[in-house]
Chain A
């Protein structure tokens, strides 16, 4: 009495990306980078991800990669970002939520002691975290 489906997971993998109205990087003025002052409005193309682009994003994210990882990620990112293109078909949705800020006065609570806060640091000096040099 019920339909028995015999479709494989293939439904999930393919057929979702159809041509839609794509907004490319040219049409936006939004700028957001991880380093203040750096303004790459278009630092990557809209088409497949190459190794240089992976290296650039890794630099923004402060993650060193070895060459094998760069090659592997370039291939995988092309697949994954291609799948994300399915979002181009999402309709405009009226969001009913009326969001309002909820404010409260600051209150002083007991927190960690300085010693506790420093307890997991690799290096400390005079009760402070010790980090690498800035430049």
Chain B
């Protein structure tokens, strides 16, 4: 049975040689590929064919990679299971009755099943790390500004980054080396990463590394997940790392802050889908407001409508200060807590997801419960930091991911620490 990891299969050859020569790569379907439809998992963009490549796609081709298809995803990246895709859910290759995580579920499933050597995902609130954890592969969410977002269909600009998914830490780091670096078409990119060699940092040397564990990230996790997490930390300790508890009270507010900010940005970003320049047309009946509202009713699924409406509400008259402004305060508080933690520790560790992979269909009816599953991943996006999810054992035969968070542009540190988990 097919996993439904790809929305569109294609073969886009890269240059003859380069660091990724001979490698096949799945590209998440919200990253523009010239001449190959890019749907964002939405009926709205079912027939949308970009006239240009995203910067990361140009870089993949220049590096010699062969792109093998556009990977399935939650609609516009809005979900934690890949079940909100208009093209049907992707199955988890480890257990096909389970979700692969989301929103980059197709990317992680393709790598875990060997349908691609490597993949690109995008991470707005955990969308690379969650599916990496659920499928038993490695995923990196880079520091904000390390990788160009030019050609990425925007959902929440201030939070999202493109990043690699791969079977090993070294392979993920090598793919990050290809896509990292400044781009004059994305004004938020920085010079860091221009001459990176993150792959070389995957040397497994954690002697003297200090790992902080915020109690807030571990309390409330599933027992089996927590047991696997502590076993991984014991293993790192045995290799010469030391661990200490740290406190980050702000993360209790991170899920609320994240969803207010992400939904607010989404409500603004997705205003572009009016069915005129691209996307599902609302036809000619009535005036333009009526036509736009019809196009958006037809083109968007429930989760996307829910987030657009809640974002519109949070930004609206009388509620902006209560929701959006307070969420920005919470974001600054989360950054401050991480800054303080990194004065004492080199990396911060947590279970990537507090729970094992959900069963297909288990969580669709209760959006709030789904949002709460992102508790450990969203603080990283709020603080613009890098983080990696690396496989760390199993619970009841299902993969568990260990998340290692680094200081800003500390990709080498998290790659080094994660590579020791593989030892």
Contacts and interface: CB of A to CB of B under 8 A. Distances in A.
Contact of A84 (B260, B281, B293): B260
A52 interface: no
Contacts of B286: 132
B241 interface: no
Contacts of B1: none
Contacts of A80: 259, 310, 367-368, 371
Given A11-B219, A121-B278, A64 B294 contact: yes
A59 B305 CA distance: 12
Contact of B332 (A10, A43, A95): A95
B397 interface: no
Interface string B132-143: 000000000000
A98 B257 CA distance: 22
Interface in A96-135: 102, 112, 116-117, 119-123, 129-135
Contacts of B221: 5
Interface string A12-47: 110010000011110010111110000111111000
Interface of A is mostly: loop
Contact of A93 (B292, B332, B373): B332
Interface string A48-87: 0000001001111111111001001100110111011011
A11 B277 contact: no
B275 A122 contact: yes
Interface in B320-348: 320-323, 326-327, 329-330, 332-333, 336
A98 to B, nearest CB: 13
A59 B326 CA distance: 25
A32 B355 CA distance: 39
A14 B184 CA distance: 45
A86 B220 contact: no
Interface in B359-373: 367-369, 371-373
A13 B256 contact: no
B312 A61 contact: yes
A116 B8 CA distance: 21
Nearest to A45: B318
Interface string B260-301: 100000010001001111110111101111111110110010
Interface residues of B, number: 79
Contacts of A89: 253
Interface stretch (B46-54, B79-87, B89-97, B151-159): B46-54
A84 B259 contact: yes
B329 A62 contact: no
B255 interface: yes
A83 B316 contact: no
A22 B290 CA distance: 36
B127 to A, nearest CB: 19
The 5 A-B pairs with the shortest beta carbon distances in the complex, nearest first, are A25-B318, A132-B291, A122-B281, A64-B297, A120-B278
Given A10-B220, A80-B310, 13 more contacts: A32-B315, A43-B317, A44-B316, A58-B293, A62-B292, A63-B296, A76-B367, A81-B310, A87-B322, A87-B326, A90-B326, A92-B329, A122-B281
15 contacts: A9-B372, A25-B322, A32-B315, A32-B317, A40-B318, A43-B316, A43-B317, A57-B313, A58-B293, A62-B289, A62-B296, A63-B305, A80-B371, A89-B253, A120-B49
Interface of B: 47-49, 51-52, 187, 218-221, 223, 226-227, 230, 252-253, 255-257, 259-260, 267, 271, 274-279, 281-284, 286-294, 296-297, 300, 302, 305-306, 308-310, 312-323, 326-327, 329-330, 332-333, 336, 354-355, 367-369, 371-373, 375
Interface of A: 2, 4-13, 16, 22-25, 28, 30-34, 39-44, 54, 57-66, 69, 72-73, 76-77, 79-81, 83-84, 86-93, 95, 102, 112, 116-117, 119-123, 129-135
